[in-house]
Structure 1
Amino acid sequence: MEPIPISVFIIAQDEEQHIGRVLDSCQSFAEIIVVDSGSNDKTIAIAKSKGAKVVHHDWQGYAKQKQYAMSLCQHDWVLNLDADEELTPEIIDEFKSFVTRQHDYVALKCRRNDLFAGRFFSNLTRLPTNTRLFLKQHAKYRLQDNVHEGPDFDQKVAHTKRYFNHYGYSNIAQLTEKYNQYSSLKAIEKFNKGKKASVLKLLLIYPLEFIRNYLIYRYCFSGLRGFIFSHLSAYYALLKEAKLYELSKTS
């Protein structure tokens, strides 16, 4: 069977726990590139054993690292994945169909299915979306952003209800550690852009974000796991604003 004409690119460091799973799910694609920023575990050896082209590149930040990895891709259609993700057979079929049929879209936004506290969320939950498959000539990462860095596109983006699996939020300790790291990066980014903390936002962000996740995004259908996850998401939103406030008072 002919490989799917898509280049997969992944940035990684010390991901031996996950990297094999995501690479196993990518074997149908024509090219797999892993840009490693200095792993001290078995990440590189595992990636090479799965047929990936491994390139070292010192850490430059999420956006610059991904922009560099994308520049190494040989195919026009590229697929960006994180090391802690995994493609399903259904979304692979969707990707294959998308890049081989005629249309005016330059990217495909798909759903992300998070594993949390031992299980994936209810199928009644409104899953978050990420744009991962795109034509590289129409994509540009927001190099000034520290986290949630894009990419942005200059033409139309299509949507699918198909999803990939994500294992990076699998337990509370892991999730809170990421939220702490990302909130610091986001606060610094906003501060550097001249943004200031809002008292009103500090007061309202937590309850509004909880309501959005628990009721509007329907995490309520996942029982106590959904209740806890909604609180953690609200805490993340509060952390970003609180750390921006802290920066304005201490810098």
Structure 2
Amino acid sequence: MTAAREPLSVVVTSFNSAATLDACLRGVRWADEIVVLDSGSTDATAAIAAHYGARVHVQPFAGYSAQKQAAIDLASHRWVLLLDSDESLAETAAVPLQQALHAPTHVAYQLWRREWQFWRWQSGRARLNHYVRLFDRQHARMSGHAVHEEVCVDGSVGVLDVTIDHHGERDIAGRVAKADRYSSLQLGDLARRRVRWLRLRMVAYPTVAFLRFYLLRGHWRSGWAGFIAARIHAFYAFLKYAKLYESRRQRRDQ
């Protein structure tokens, strides 16, 4: 007799996510539970979540890491699949996910993520990022970072052949606005790290970030969309250190 798989809670955080939430929930409707923690949407987000039988909770946005941890804490089951509301899985992803849950050999699993770049998906030959998204929540917790938050795991981590589609920003203006917002939010994390050689970082690191993103990660294969994404990535690398430099100057001049 085949052993029953571990029950799964899919956990999603949302805010005015009507444009992407349907695709997000459609691919995981087989799960034993869907939990949506919303930050007070005024669009059709709640109605879409209800259509898929999700259990919807509402709380003011507490920051990316804290909001996701709050959503994870609402899950009924030990095993959690964590998604953003602008991410989706193909329905065929159910097979490897369910197989992993029949007899887990790790306490967490990384999934690959494919990025939408303005008007096209990144090249299939560009390198995909991978993140811990499927995990036993008794062995995992959000990192607490203001941005670029991640799931920290106490135990072994495997990798599944499952790709998340990240729909992300639909245009250049949205990507630039995100770089501006994230660089401001990251100031606290950078200040705690006591970053040194700040002026050198402002000069050199954007070029390093561009070359790493564009050449080493293979986004040159995505044509002009990859080039523009790499330039904005480099701008973000500059902006976070420029804002930290400005913050230190302001404190010194007070």
Structure-2-length-normalised TM-score: 0.91
Alignment of 1:109-188 (within 5 A): 109-143=110-144, 145-188=145-188
Task: Provide the residue aligned with 1:217 in structure 2.
Answer: 217
Task: Provide the residue aligned with 1:53 in structure 2.
Answer: 55
Name the CA distance, whole Å, in 2 between partners of 1:217 and 1:195: 25
Relative to structure 1, the CA distance from residue 60 to residue 25 in structure 2 (aligned partners, 3 Å threshold; closer, same or farther) is same
For residues 150-189 of structure 1, what are the alpha-carbon distances to aligned partners after superposition, in whole Å with 9 as ceiling and x for unaligned? Answer: 1211111112343110111332122111111111101233
Name the CA distance, whole Å, in 1 between partners of 2:94 and 2:68: 21
| Count of residues in correspondence between the two structures | 248
Q: Which amino acid aligns with 1:181?
A: R
Relative to structure 1, the CA distance from residue 97 to residue 184 in structure 2 (aligned partners, 3 Å threshold; closer, same or farther) is same
Is 1:189 matched with 2:186? Answer: no
Query: How far apart are 1:135 and its partner, in Å?
Result: 0.6
Alignment of 1:25-44 (within 5 A): 25-44=27-46
SS at match of 2:7: strand
Relative to structure 1, the CA distance from residue 158 to residue 3 in structure 2 (aligned partners, 3 Å threshold; closer, same or farther) is closer
Q: 1:100 aligns with which of 91, 102, 106?
A: 102
Relative to structure 1, the CA distance from residue 26 to residue 95 in structure 2 (aligned partners, 3 Å threshold; closer, same or farther) is same
Name the CA distance, whole Å, in 1 between partners of 2:201 and 2:163: 32
Q: Which amino acid aligns with 1:208?
A: V
Q: Which amino acid aligns with 2:215?
A: L
Relative to structure 1, the CA distance from residue 21 to residue 194 in structure 2 (aligned partners, 3 Å threshold; closer, same or farther) is same
Name the CA distance, whole Å, in 2 between partners of 1:50 and 1:4: 21
Name the CA distance, whole Å, in 2 between partners of 1:176 and 1:30: 38
Query: How far apart are 1:221 and its partner, in Å?
Result: 1.0
Q: Which amino acid aligns with 1:233?
A: H
SS at match of 2:200: helix
For residues 106-163 of structure 1, what are the alpha-carbon distances to aligned partners after superposition, in whole Å with 9 as ceiling and x for unaligned? Answer: 11111111111221111110011221111101111123x2111212111111123431
Q: Is the 8 A contact 1:87 1:165 kept in 2?
A: yes
Q: Is the 8 A contact 2:12 2:36 kept in 1?
A: yes
SS at match of 2:186: helix
Q: Is the 8 A contact 1:91 1:164 kept in 2?
A: no
Q: Is the 8 A contact 2:6 2:79 kept in 1?
A: no
For residues 190-229 of structure 1, what are the alpha-carbon distances to aligned partners after superposition, in whole Å with 9 as ceiling and x for unaligned? Answer: 2255445612211111110111011110011111111111
SS at match of 1:51: coil
Name the CA distance, whole Å, in 2 between partners of 1:3 and 1:208: 45
Greater CA deviation, 160-169 or 193-202?
Answer: 193-202
Q: Is the 8 A contact 2:113 2:164 kept in 1?
A: yes
Q: Is the 8 A contact 1:191 1:247 kept in 2?
A: no
Gapped regions of structure 2 (runs ≥ 5): none
Relative to structure 1, the CA distance from residue 4 to residue 172 in structure 2 (aligned partners, 3 Å threshold; closer, same or farther) is farther
Relative to structure 1, the CA distance from residue 25 to residue 51 in structure 2 (aligned partners, 3 Å threshold; closer, same or farther) is same
Q: Is the 8 A contact 2:116 2:167 kept in 1?
A: yes
Is 1:205 matched with 2:205? Answer: yes
Query: How far apart are 1:10 and its partner, in Å?
Result: 0.8
Structure-1-length-normalised TM-score: 0.92
Relative to structure 1, the CA distance from residue 89 to residue 196 in structure 2 (aligned partners, 3 Å threshold; closer, same or farther) is same
Instruction: Report the identity percentage.
Output: 33
